[in-house]
Amino acid sequence: MGAEVGRRGLDLASDLLPVAPAAHYAMGGVVASVTGETSLAGLLALGEISCTGVHGANRLASNSLLEGLVFGLAAADHLSDTGMALEMAPYRAPDDVAGPASVDGRAQLESVRRDIQRTMSRNVAVVRDQTGLDQAIGQLADLGAALPSATGREVAEVANMVLVARVITMSAVARQESRGGHFRADYPSLDPALDGRHLIRTGPGAGEWRFGSLADALSPLAKV
């Protein structure tokens, strides 16, 4: 850390260091049971990709490691108990994400990536409100349209960034309260009516939201 601070022209002994919040975890994810099962038979979701409700509205530091250990073991025990046959499926990258982007495409992708970061940091960060969230929705729609038409892994990655950013933003719009890591200046209080209620999306894209329980999302009606 000292070397990095020095490269930036600062002295740990005498200078004040700039500090800024950064997002590195999402409390949401693919709805899964305590054994990793999802609404799609045979598909398991474990660790940071999953949403079991164990973290509530704000994950405590380092609990992700414990989550992976506990739920990974639970999933393994469940598979062993059910006798489900497991095979390593051959992986083949889809044609539209197999190749690299062109030089021009990479520059365009990097521009979109930076704009996603700016938009989310400015409008969907620690303190949120309807005005900023509306701005983010419009900007993210524009950024999605600005993606290069070329195919490749880099394009797919940035397209996924746009999708996740839209999901986070639209979820923040729908949750008109403050809870855990989600704080809205225009709705600073907790809404008791939303206790234990999650925002669940079962359709394609970033739309079709509804409030419900995680059990609802895993019910036969939610299966795809």
Domain residues for the domain of 58 are 24-86
**154 within some domain:** yes
Q: Are residues 113 and 155 in the same domain?
A: yes
**146 within some domain:** yes
**198 within some domain:** no
**108 within some domain:** yes
Segment (H or E) for 51: strand 50-51
Q: Are residues 68 and 118 in the same domain?
A: no
Instruction: Determine what percent of the chain is predicted with pLDDT higher than 90.
Output: 40
Q: Are residues 102 and 183 in the same domain?
A: yes
Q: What is the pLDDT of residue 101?
A: 60
**211 within some domain:** no
Q: Are residues 107 and 47 in the same domain?
A: no
**197 within some domain:** no
The CATH number of whichever domain residue 176 belongs to comes to 1.20.58.100
**121 within some domain:** yes
Token pair listed for 52: 């079991």
Q: Is there a contact between 52 and 34 (Cβ–Cβ < 8 Å)? A: yes
Cβ-based neighbours of 152, under 8 Å, separated by 6 or more: 97, 98, 99, 100, 101, 105
Q: Are residues 65 and 98 in the same domain?
A: no
Band of the pLDDT at 92, cuts 50, 70, 90? low
The Cα-based distances of 157 to 17, 114, 203 in angstroms read 32, 13, 21
Q: Are residues 100 and 183 in the same domain?
A: yes
Q: Are residues 78 and 127 in the same domain?
A: no
Q: Are residues 105 and 174 in the same domain?
A: yes
Domain count within the chain: 2
Mean pLDDT computed over every residue of the chain: 85
**71 within some domain:** yes
Predicted TM-score of the model (pTM): 0.81
Mean pLDDT of all residues in 168-189: 95
CA 101, CA 125: separation in Å to the nearest integer? Answer: 30
Which of 6-10, 208-212, 216-220 is modeled with the greatest confidence?
Answer: 6-10
**For 197-220, b where at least 16 C-beta lie within 10 A, e where not — what string?**
bbbbbbeeebeebeebebebbbee
Residue closest to 202 by CA, chosen among 193, 188, 212: 212
Band of the pLDDT at 28, cuts 50, 70, 90? confident
